[in-house]
Amino acid sequence: MTHMRQHRNRVMKAICATFSTVLLLGGLAARAQDQCGVVAGISYPVDLAQFQLAQDYNVPSPRHQGRYHTGEDYFGGRGVTYGQPVRAVAAGRVTYSAPNGWGRDGGVVIIEHTFPDGSVAYSQYGHMEEINEYRFPPRYGCVQQGDVVGAVGDIRPAPHLHFEIRINQPDVPGPGYSWDEPTVRGWRSPSRFIANWQTWLLPAHRWHVELADDAVFSAPPLVLDDGSLLMLDASRLRYATPDGRVLWRLNLERAAVAVTAWQGAPLLTYADGRMQRVNPDGTLGESWETGTAVTGAALTVGDLLVLRAPGDALLAFGADRRTPAWRLEGVPGSATIRASAGLIGAANATQLLSIAPDGRLLDSANLSAGVSLSTAADGGLLAYTEGGLWRIDTNGVWALALENVPPGGEESAAIESESGYYLWSGGALRAVDAAGTPRWQLDLPGVNGAAQLARYGNGLLLSTDGGDLIVVQADSGALCATARVYADAASGLWRALGADGVLRVAGAGAVTGLDWAEFSGACG
C-alpha cells in the first residue's frame, strides 16, 4: 500500500508538472504572439498615389492556366516601380524573411499581426529584393507600421509587388495562385481587409459583423426595435445582437430576396414568392405561397411591400402580404428605386418613371444622363439631373427647384434643408439657399461613386458606394470626420442611425457599428 501511494504521488506530481508546463508554454506562446504589439493602425504597403492595382484578388489568370490570384499586384509604371520601398502594413512579428524566397521571382516577407479582437492574420510581400538601405527585416523580429521590409524587385513580366492577406500558412510563402477559390483556402481580399480594419480601429468603432469574403447581402439588413440585426445572404439568415454578436444562423432551403418588418416581426420573402415569419428564437414560423415570383427587394411604401418581379416589372403586395395589390410592367430591372410617402421613382441612365403608391404610372421622362433621387418635404421626390435640381410632386409633375447649380447625375446627391439644399456633385459638397445662392463649398477630391446624403442634427453625412463615410458640419461646411469601409457598386452601401446613437453601415459582406457622437465629433 505504501508503494502504491508513493507511485500515485509520483504520477500526480508528474501530471501537475506537465500541466504547469503546458500552461507556461501556452502563456509564452500567447506572449510571443503579441510581443510585437497589438495592431493600432493599418495602411497599404505602397503609396496608392503612385501605385495602382494591376491584378485584383480572386481573379483567374490566363498566364497561370486560369488559376485564381491569391493577392493583389501593385504596379507604379514602367521605369518607376523597380526599387521602390515596400512597407509593413501594420505592427507585427516577422515569421518569414528570405531574399530568394520565390527563387527567380524574388524575395518574400511574411508578418504576423495580432488585432484588438484577438484575431491573427498574416501579410505577405512578394517579388521583392534588397536594394541599398531597403533591407529585409530579420525573422522573428518586430516591425512597426510603415517600416520598410524590402524593395520591389526586377522580376517577370515587369517589376510589381504581390501583396497578400491570409489566415493560413503563417511562415510559408504562398503559391500566388490557387486552383480553388482563395477565400476557401484561407486567403482574404487585401483591399477589403485593410479598408475595413482602418475603420474598425477607430475610437468610434463599437462592433462589427463580418461575413465570408464572397458573401453578398441579398437585401439591406433589418434593424429590430432593440437595435439587433437580421442579415440576409441569399440562402442564409443571421441574427446579431445590438453589440454585434451573431447568436444564430439559419440555412434556408430556398433563396430569399428580402427580410422586412411586418406586424411587429420579421418576414422573409423568397424568390418564388413564398412569405414566412421569423421567430425570435431563430426558428421559422408560419409560411404561405403568393404564387408570384420576385427577383429582388425594393422597399416598403406605407403598408405595401414593393419588389422587383421577372419581366421588367414592379410588384406590390398588400397589407396582408398574401395578395398582390398591383403589378406595373415596363420598369427596367436596372432601375434604382426610391420612394417617399406619396411617390415612387424608378430611374436608370435614360429614363425616370414616376409611380403612384397605387401602381399608376404618372409620368415617364427621358434623361440625357443619369439622375439621383431623394425624398422631398412635400411627399414627392427631388431629382438631381444634368440639367438642374427638380421637384416631382405626388401627381408626377416636374418643376425646376434650382437651375444654376453644378450638373447632377447618378453619382450626385441632394437633400432639402430648412434654409435651402445640400448638393453633392463634381467632387464638391455645397450648401445653397432656396434661391441657389452658395452658402459654403467643401471640395472632396478622390471621392467617387453613387452617393447619398443624410442630416443627423448638425452633422451632414455623405456616403458613397465606394465605402466613403464623410461627416461635415451642416452650418459651416467644416470637415469633422472621414472613414471608409469596403464596398463596391455591386454591394452598394447601406447606413442607418439608430435611436441608440449607433450608425450602422453595411458594405460588401460586413456590418459596422460606429458611435455617432464620437465619430461625428463637433458635427454631432
446-474 pLDDT tens trace: 898 899 999 999 999 999 999 999 999 99
Confidence label for 65 from pLDDT (cuts 50, 70 and 90):
confident
Mean pLDDT of 49-68: 86
Query: Residue for cell digits 404561405?
Result: 288
Domain positions in the chain:
52-191
Mean pLDDT of 395-404: 93
Per residue, the 3-state secondary structure of 133-191, as one string, reads CECCCCCCCEECCCCEEEEECCCCCCCCEEEEEECCCCCCCCCCEECCCHHHHCEECHH
The per-residue pLDDT for range 91-111, each reduced to its tens digit, is 999 999 999 999 889 999 999
Q: What is the Cα–Cα distance from 232 to 239, expressed in whole angstroms?
A: 9
Q: What is the Cα–Cα distance from 347 to 486, expressed in whole angstroms?
A: 25
Beta carbons of 367 and 350 less than 8 angstroms apart: yes
What are 276's strand-pairing partners? 268, 287
Q: What is the pLDDT of residue 461?
A: 97
Q: What is the Cα–Cα distance from 512 to 329, expressed in whole angstroms?
A: 37
Would you say residue 72 has pLDDT above 90? yes
Confidence label for 34 from pLDDT (cuts 50, 70 and 90):
low
Q: What is the pLDDT of residue 298?
A: 79
The per-residue pLDDT for range 316-353, each reduced to its tens digit, is 999 999 999 999 999 988 889 999 999 999 999 899 99
Beta carbons of 107 and 101 less than 8 angstroms apart: yes
Classify domain 52-191 at the CATH topology level. Glucose Permease (Domain IIA) (2.70.70)
For 213-251, letters b (16+ CB in 10 Å) and e give bebebbbbbbbbeebbbbbbbbebbbbbebebeeeeebe
Q: What is the pLDDT of residue 307?
A: 95
Mean pLDDT of 370-390: 94
313-317: strand order across its sheet: 296-301, 304-309, 313-317, 324-329
Q: What is the pLDDT of residue 213?
A: 58
Would you say residue 1 has pLDDT above 50? no
Would you say residue 78 has pLDDT above 90? no
**Average pLDDT taken over every residue of the chain:** 90
3-state helix, strand, coil in the chain (%, to 5): 10, 45, 45
Task: Give counts: helices (H), strands (E), the chain.
Answer: 3, 44
Q: What is the Cα–Cα distance from 367 to 43, expressed in whole angstroms?
A: 41
Q: What is the pLDDT of residue 489?
A: 78
Q: What is the pLDDT of residue 391?
A: 97
What are 73's strand-pairing partners? 55, 162
CA dihedral 326, 329, 333, 339 (to 10 degrees): -50
